[in-house]
Structure 1
């Protein structure tokens, strides 16, 4: 059986929108894109932690918008780049990528495929297969759908010490009731708090 793992960079007030860059996602007039830039997570303990997580990733699961962001970055970056960027680019190109979309009909990034109209059913089938971690990045609407069908096994949340007061939140109003157990927490030198939660019935 595989494991569905949601990994998210989020603010203290739960915002997950456009942490990576100013133009990543301006939906809703969001003006704080790139809010992660002032914090270091890819050095020392943070780099070791992220590398450990990525080594377990056997597939990626996206909504349309996040897929297009990843395909336009990791999907075209140089696999021979130094450090984590090259390592992750090679891994992301190699592993399967599954996309939930009502509008896309073709996917250009290699080893990508659409989940089809029954997203919960398709994800349940993927989860039932032998394997490692199926990682979900971004994709707040998809995560909500997965939670509604009890398909999220673990949340890895990197909580940044910043409050934005606006933007898309991972756990927005109306998010389904989810009972979780905190299985690990650690503080990085940058002030980022890393919390790992699993389904309460699996802890």
Structure 2
């Protein structure tokens, strides 16, 4: 069965929102690893605000001078893109292969993800933003965590602040990069039961 893989950059203290305030850059070795990891996916789940930011950048990046940037841009272009919004749902999306996912309730989200995982294909990239990632974590829908931890602490929205019970993980692998970022790859050992209901 396909896996939901949450892949995000974060600070040492777990902040995942407004990365422009704390990301110090993406060196070549980290960019190459992200490009490699993106090859494991054929579908991306993304919040509406993050979708707009991605759409503003990646289509033009197909013509970038960097080969790695072009490769990532082509993957982004080809991915099936499901966009989460509780206010914009139903409108037409301009980017290739994009559509809205059901998001009116937690049950809608869980049902759609169960169906999506049962279909053939590669793993599914949960991209964010922060609120969507928190929702999936809260609902126990994440199968693997691929976290790129930047050597900085910063005040903001913390990825795991909505987790209310024990959530055991198994380390798959880890590596570090030239700018001090550490990549941590974890497998979810069991699903947990959500006891709160918050919207993203």
TM-score by length of 1: 0.82
**Secondary structure of 2:87's partner?**
coil
Paired with 2:164 and 2:50, the residues of 1 have a C-alpha distance of: 22
In the alignment, which residue of structure 2 is the partner of 1:109?
A: 95
What displacement does 1:64 show?
1.5
Deviations 1:83-120 (A, max 9, x none): 22211111111120001111112212121011123122
Unaligned runs of 5+ in 1: 22-32
Shift of 1:123: 1.5
Does 2:62 correspond to 1:79? yes
Displacement over 3 Å in runs of 4+: none
Q: Does 1:138 align with 2:123?
A: no
Count of residues paired in the alignment? 183
Residue number in structure 1 paired with 2:198: none
Per-residue deviation at 1:142? Answer: 2.0
Root-mean-square deviation (CA), in Å? 1.9
Distance in 1 between residues matched to 2:9 and 2:36, nearest whole Å? 16
Structure 2: runs of 5+ lacking an equivalent: 192-200
What residue in structure 2 maps to residue 175 of structure 1? 163
**Alpha-carbon contact 1:147-1:176 (below 8 Å) kept:** no
TM-score, normalising length: structure 2: 0.83
1:176, distance to aligned residue in structure 2 (A): 4.2
2:16 matched to which residue of 1?
A: 16
Cα pair 1:180 1:197 within 8 Å, conserved: yes
